[in-house]
Structure 1
Amino acid sequence: MVRVGFHDVPFPAAVALGAVGGPIRKTDIVRTGSGAEVRRARWSGSLRRWDISLGIRNFAEAEEVLSFFEAREGRRHAFPFGDPLDHSSAVGGIAPSPIDQVIGTGDGVQTTFALTKRYGGVTRPIELARIGSVRVAIDGVETQSFSLVRERNAVVFDTPPPAGAAVSAGFLFDTPARFEDDSLRLQLGAKGASVPAIGLVEVRL
């Protein structure tokens, strides 16, 4: 299935490693007459933002970002971005194991389980698991009898996990993102390319 407004072309990995950023939330805060605060979340989850300019260290990388920007038509098309600090189901960004994240409980009928990652009590849907990285277990025992359906952000088992069985998964993943602006500012100096801030923002697919 083709996702409208999305190009499945990863952002240059070497530049992504130098990105600075993280999650953003949107909270309304109203102070009452007594001085107490009433706080209300406007978003159901975080959206992330990064500045990737520090990852551009030479002319070749600036040229690569320029080409990538043009191919995406500025902020028109989203793409997979490898967040250097949050791209693995495992704590610390280490290699995934099949028991990293509990993604459901079998009922003997259900075969499709959405990939998610938990941060304390908060669950984040994973939209772009990397193909070939997903490992799955049923009650702690790894199985190969599943397929990744990336367009549904889910794993689908060949046969339903038995009732009461814990279904878990480990994976690497990218975050869907787009350029924050429709313009780039690049300058060629004596020491190579000079690049002001270039923002990327997370999007929902």
Structure 2
Amino acid sequence: MQPSSPFTTLLATDLVAFGAQYRDIATQVQVRHNMYARVIEALTFAGVSWPHCHHEDRGDGTFIVTPPEAHPAVFLDPMLNHLSAAVGRHNRCVGPPGRMRLRVAVHHGPVHYDGYGVTGPDTLLLFRLLEAPRFKRKVHASGSELAAIVSDTLYTNAFDRNTLINPAAYRATRLTHKETRRVRAWLWFPPQ
């Protein structure tokens, strides 16, 4: 195994109800294409170079490791806000099968590369946040087109830098999923 990377921002997305019966394979392909286009657009808007990111496809989502020089604050604002606007704009232009809802998890920490990709405790934490049942329930209940769960590490690093991020947009929560127990994280939903 190669040594761990410096601290970097990790991002994971998941398309809610991607495998729903009302979506045929052609629609799934189109929804995936549109998800990638919106994510790349939002990262670019935030000043993060997609070609410099490590990214892995997850079938109904993505896993992205950004360059270490990308400051964690840009993932809270402007990236999440821009992604929300891009998904909303997309959904207004397509019929129900082509609409997307996204769950997003964002974390900041080192990753480890091996011959198969990326691994390590921070990678696991990112996916435990994304897949936490409590987060999924909150997203389902909200009906929101986009929702994010932000690790306490990223949230703290972002706000320690005297940014213009609105802390009122985030709600503290505790999540448990598999071996991750009562970890503190922050929920974000787009402003109404």
* TM-score for both structures, normalised by structure 2: 0.25
* TM-score for both structures, normalised by structure 1: 0.24
Judging by fraction of residues, say which structure has more helix. 2
Judging by fraction of residues, say which structure has more strand. 1
**Greater Rg by CA:** 1
